[in-house]
Chains A and B, each alone.
Chain A
């Protein structure tokens, strides 16, 4: 279990994250959702270990984060930041191989091929990273972080992703979230910052709604992703529709002047 206990992070005495408690279970996909400036990335960095918190603490499988060395931490979690820029002319496959930096397998070629095929980047393996499109680069970076946790391990591990699909087209977005869903069977817990509410609603097991550095709601997706909660978080009218408890959720928002009228969204 990965747990952030009442973590607090201030900049110039202004709380960016205010006593937030989040608990990630292995085998669950948790979506972190909230408006710009809500503190999503800050909370994410507190959990990944990039930032240290003044109050509260983060524990991985019961071990406090600040007592773990970078190497030990890397065995417990992989992180995909929002943007990664690479200065030198590395090939896609070389970037993915970096995910195995700590691995003792000398040539874990099968791992590399598996993660690159999974992320649809195998055909790009010999390309220089600088020549790839934004979405392709993002998939290569995803392959790199997957490689880090691909090998089966007895202890639970975590994958933290900051807007992993921001540059991808719609089919790749769904594909990536399906891949993340499959990771749950490998005893891996996933935390993803997602902007697309429909992706969050239909792939996440749990949702954390963040606003102004405070967690307003968290819990099972269906309990949290309600019109009322989302409107409260985003200060904007949001409709949530579903034909039943097992049917997909549809989340829509419309331009303000139209939704202010009594416009109701009808499902076809």
Chain B
């Protein structure tokens, strides 16, 4: 069995707190805020819960699209909480120009304990302001457990206002779910999709107008790049008639080939022969592993959303993966790979990335390669590859790009 770090402070099995957590200083990084054009978000909660959302909205130029309703303990006790929300929407509709078409009401952890009748609240809002559409988002990490993914719920409401189209109104468009930045122009995914005659590619982060947003309803296919978007994809399939394929980033060349074959089958196209690309990736990765000459590798959940699958792929190429910094949130995104690591790889230490134990005991010496800046900082790692949530890394090109980044980090271009 693999060693599992900080067992005493690491509740691996239960649905309660995973343990005490420590937060490293933020890394300066541009984050994309997904926003439906023409919508307004009203954050409703104690002032302390809302502060970060204001700061982020200002940081990314979205402040005009958000407002805040501060509730007091007296409002909680008196039950005025819901009345205040309805009144505030009315006030905002009078003040905001142009008036929003869509309101997203974001509530926080305390709402889980207040017994809000969400259906009745939405009914009231729709009756009072029939010109608007409404949804309630829950920003409630207190409810997180293996079965509950807050981000999944949040993301599903982002797409819930797209209206269905008649079959003849569908085009060859593809909805990209779970992307926050455009793909590299030389990414093989783009070439494969173009080769099958698919396009345009539509993603929420690229929508500039409400019409752009609604155009997602006309697409023929959706690709899901983050598993937390599967609820959105289910909505698209069930309500909009758009099928989807899970296309999470993988550093396993064979898995990439399987994905492209899945897409081909969905489209009724012949499966492509990608054996040459798979072999080229393998060679590149194995050569890079040899260049590292046994250098220990640590992998962080900041680097990849499916950190166990990434570790398994690298182990397969011959990298000396010694440590995995997993997320606090255990959604079993890559459960199969996690089981493989825990059962088959005793040399790999699995530890919780945010565990406070890293403040007084190091999971690995600093003479290592860290994939992800957080574990690099915790380990004071000698070599670092800064990749965040796989962004910019996809397909065969993503594997080659990762290998190039690793070689550059350790200064071995061989």
Q: Do A and B bind each other?
A: no
Residues of chain A at the chain B interface (Cβ within 8 Å): none
Residues of chain B at the chain A interface (Cβ within 8 Å): none
